Chain A
Amino acid sequence: MEIKVEMIDVYIGGELFQVPKGSTIIMAMEYAGFQLKKGIGCREGYCGACATVYREKGDYKLKGGLACQTVVTDGMTIAMIPFVPAEKPLYNLNDLTPDVGTFTKLFPSVFRCVSCNTCTKACPQDIEVMDYVQALIRGDIARAADISFDCIRCGLCALRCPAEIVQYNAGILARRLYGKYLAKNSPELDERLKELEEGKFDKEIEELKKMPDDKLSEKYYSREIKIS
């Protein structure tokens, strides 16, 4: 089966190009002759490097999205954002406590949230951004960490926020505080660390390292598989 390629008009940085229908913004830009150096990364929606502003034909709204995940439409106008120069406060995680006080100190702008929900609407990951900002205001670090989990740091929330909050940097701090201070310790991990320190496995590892391939192979194929 052959696909017939239908071409559509897009304006990249204001300049008109014809590109194949169904292209993502990145595919469209490359088709038009751009070799991207900034605003590009994993091309699969994981790294958040390709935040882009666009407007669709006949619409007055400026929309944001990831260039690698947004499919172009006929008459779309596109402006890529090279990077977002937002502030990141510096801290030593060891000196912090997982509570609202940390955010009052490091992210005072969080408390200026006007609950307009613009950040949530801007998020290409469909994260309830405003909800995690509100959780931070209440000092609910665990909830903020949970809600903000899928953040890929594209910066679109911060770019749209009328209260000038840098949501994504507050989000990573919440998650780090949760991971370090609020998540319960794993008893098995601590036990294994103790065993490793005592050298419990050292002798056996040394034997394995010297073992000829045929014996190693025998050991490998006869090992008991216990997975669920």
Chain B
Amino acid sequence: MYPEYMNESIKKVEQTRPQRLELAKKHGKNVFPGMGEQERADILAKFHPDYKDDALRELRIGPNKGDKIINEVVDVMESYPRDYPETFDLNKVDMETDILIIGAGSAGLSAAIEASESDAEVLLITKLRLGDSNSMMAQGGIQAADQADDNPILHYLDVIGGGHFDNKPELVDALVMDAAPSIKWLEEMGVMFDKNEDGSMMVKSGGGTCRNRMHSTRDYTGAGICRVLRDEVYNRPEKIKCIEYSAATELILDEKGQCAGAIIYHLESKQYSIVKAKTVIIATGGFGRLHVRGFETTNHYGATADGLVMGYRAGAKMMFMDSVQYHPTGAVFPEQIVGFLCTEKIRGLGAQPVNKDGELFVYPLEPRDIEASAFIKECESNMGITTPSGLKGIWLDSPLIEELSGEGTIEKNLPAMLRQFQRFDIDIRKYPMLVFPTLHYQNGGLEIEANAETTIPGLYVAGEASGGIHGRNRLMGNSQLDIIVFGRRAGRNAAAKVKEGIKLGKLSLQHVTDYIKEVDGLEIDKKHISPIVLPDYIPDHVKAKQLSSEFQGTLF
């Protein structure tokens, strides 16, 4: 339940609701004027966290040396490796495979399934359980322009406009043109998309879309897709070998600079394995658990940017690492679920963001960075609500959904959301939700071409770890799409490359040795080690008593 002192504000929301309902009935989503180009630029500059003076700093090492990027990413890049190259005897290979896939969210799983259609051997490794990933947590939808009034051209415009025209055009092309075939691919594997009686897709709008293009599987869209992919991977043990609870910590190259495998760390037995592979696909996801600027995050426990670090150390270039996506609607109350993602679909269904006086202050479905900035502005202007622990938020008026579309709409369309808040005694059919922007997505990543390959031969990247597709701002439903599109492309192209024939030379970790020399010159504390592998939430007073070396290797 909400604390008593919030009742006054909740009453105001209830008082303005009938008027806002009328507005919505008359104008649909257009209950507040949308922002033009100049207005958008202004609000970003003044209120978006990326634009704060101290958000970025210059990176002093590697291919992006001299670029100003996010502080927390600089921290993991300007760090020592977990173990030194001379520790490993690369002549003693523990496992050999054609294609090594690191990460088992939907990008890694899609890559594995596509690759297994060829004769190639696939080894899929993940540091957690197969499928447990940000992919599994996505709620709202997956975009695909498959409706009669829509087309890939409009989708292209939405993606590149939402990304502020910085996106790599050939990647946007791949994304929107592969969209409908990806939906078909998923459906043929048994994904249950939400449909009308006649089989037509139930589609909704999302922030920054000009058509209803959002396909969903209730509000478990990520899970609806990811669990099918996982089941399919389980069904192909003769083609896809899976190793769980094991993290890749470093890429191995050969003497010619081709990608040739990885060092794998088995988390519980603490052993390392050397894996030789003809091609490697990084599908490790993003950096949410780096808690950029101290923000809470919607992200999975494993989102520690490992792939980004490994790829960068091996010489792959990053793109757009100066931009973070804050999802406008993260829960700020109850305490136990601070940071929890309240899907954009809630606004898609008609819930309106309002301030402490119950007033509308922004068009509900601006692109995410604009919407988030508007929420921050409202709170900084003292129009937000403060929680008992001092966080600020604005109301997302969820009860409006049922007034608009009838009783039962929330239970049918937002079962996960309803359940999550009910666990803590808040009924979102009766009471609004208290939200504030939360760290959600790594807009940039390792630069890829349309075939998902990096500048390092044989190294592919798919999913959130890659950069260029979304420019500096991703729209809702395009990440679920990109992990499938580029996961499949990576799997297919890696398999084709293997088929063409790859001759690997002598395995080498010289790139790590060289990197260490550069880090030495930066006068970094030797305790700064990356990749982080798992975040550490143990309080300082407890950690002070943990004297073994086991907890070294994290930045927190």
Contact = CB atoms under 8 A, between A and B. Distances in A.
A219 B191 CA distance: 35
Nearest to B228: A176
Interface stretch (B86-94, B177-185, B472-480): B177-185
B151 interface: yes
Contacts of B136: 41-42, 46-47
Contact of B301 (A31, A43, A173, A205): A43
Contact of B267 (A37, A221, A227): A37
Interface stretch (A52-60, A112-120, A187-195): A187-195
Given A30-B538, A187-B199, A176 B268 contact: no
A30 B539 CA distance: 8
Given A35-B536, A37-B267, A126 B419 contact: yes
A193 B180 contact: yes
A44 interface: yes
Interface in B395-412: none
B177 A201 contact: yes
Interface residues of B, number: 98
B514 interface: no
A143 interface: no
B190 A201 contact: no
A118 B177 CA distance: 48
Contact of A180 (B190, B198, B550): B190
Contacts of A46: 136-137, 220, 222-223, 416
Interface string B199-229: 1110001000111100000101011000110
Contact of A189 (B29, B165, B184): B184
Given A49-B132, A184-B198, A204-B153, A192 B336 contact: no
A150 B220 contact: yes
Interface stretch (A7-15, A88-96, A131-139, A158-166): A88-96
Nearest to A168: B227
B205 A227 contact: yes
B146 A192 contact: yes
A22 B338 CA distance: 13
B388 A93 contact: no
A125 interface: yes
A100 interface: no
B243 to A, nearest CB: 14
A107 to B, nearest CB: 13
Given A41-B132, A90-B237, A223 B210 contact: yes
B416 A150 contact: yes
Contact of A149 (B193, B198, B220, B539): B220
A179 interface: yes
Interface in B311-354: 335-337, 340-341
A interface bracket (residues with beta carbon within 8 Å of B)? 35 or more
Nearest to A182: B192
A178 B192 contact: yes
B416 A209 contact: no
A22 B336 CA distance: 7
A122 to B, nearest CB: 16
A49 B129 CA distance: 7
Contacts of A186: 146, 193, 195, 199-201
A184 B538 contact: no
Contacts of B170: 209
If over half of A's interface residues share one DSSP class (helix, strand or loop), that class is named, otherwise mixed; here it is: loop
Contacts of A41: 128-129, 132-133, 136, 300-302
Of B169, B218, B245, most A-chain CB atoms within 10 Å: B169
B187 A125 contact: no
Contacts of A227: 28-29, 205, 209-212, 365
B235 A90 contact: yes
Contact of A33 (B145, B160, B542): B542
A189 B212 contact: no
B160 A188 contact: no
Nearest to A92: B235
Interface string A75-100: 00000000100001011110000000
A161 B420 CA distance: 26
A226 interface: yes
Interface in B149-176: 149, 151-154, 156-158, 160-161, 165, 169-170, 172-173, 176
A91 B231 CA distance: 10
Contacts of A220: 157-158, 160-161, 165
Nearest to B546: A33
Nearest to B232: A93
B300 A30 contact: no
A216 B84 CA distance: 49
Contacts of B183: 189
A79 B210 CA distance: 50
Interface string B516-545: 000000000000000000101111001101
B501 interface: no
B157 A208 contact: yes
Contacts of A196: 152, 177, 180-181
Contacts of A88: 231, 234
B415 A150 contact: yes
Contact of B231 (A176, A225, A228): A176
B390 to A, nearest CB: 7
Contacts of B16: none
Contacts of A192: 145-146, 151, 180
A88 B160 CA distance: 43
Nearest to B127: A37
5 contacts: A180-B189, A201-B152, A201-B153, A205-B176, A227-B211
Given A47-B131, A204-B153, 12 more contacts: A3-B389, A41-B300, A42-B301, A92-B235, A93-B235, A150-B220, A178-B192, A186-B200, A201-B177, A209-B173, A216-B165, A227-B212
Interface of B: 28-29, 36-37, 128-129, 131-134, 136-137, 145-149, 151-154, 156-158, 160-161, 165, 169-170, 172-173, 176-177, 180-181, 183-184, 187-193, 195, 198-201, 205, 209-212, 218, 220, 222-223, 227-228, 231-232, 234-235, 237, 245, 267-268, 298, 300-302, 335-337, 340-341, 365, 386, 388-390, 415-416, 419-420, 423, 534, 536-539, 542-543, 545-546, 550-551
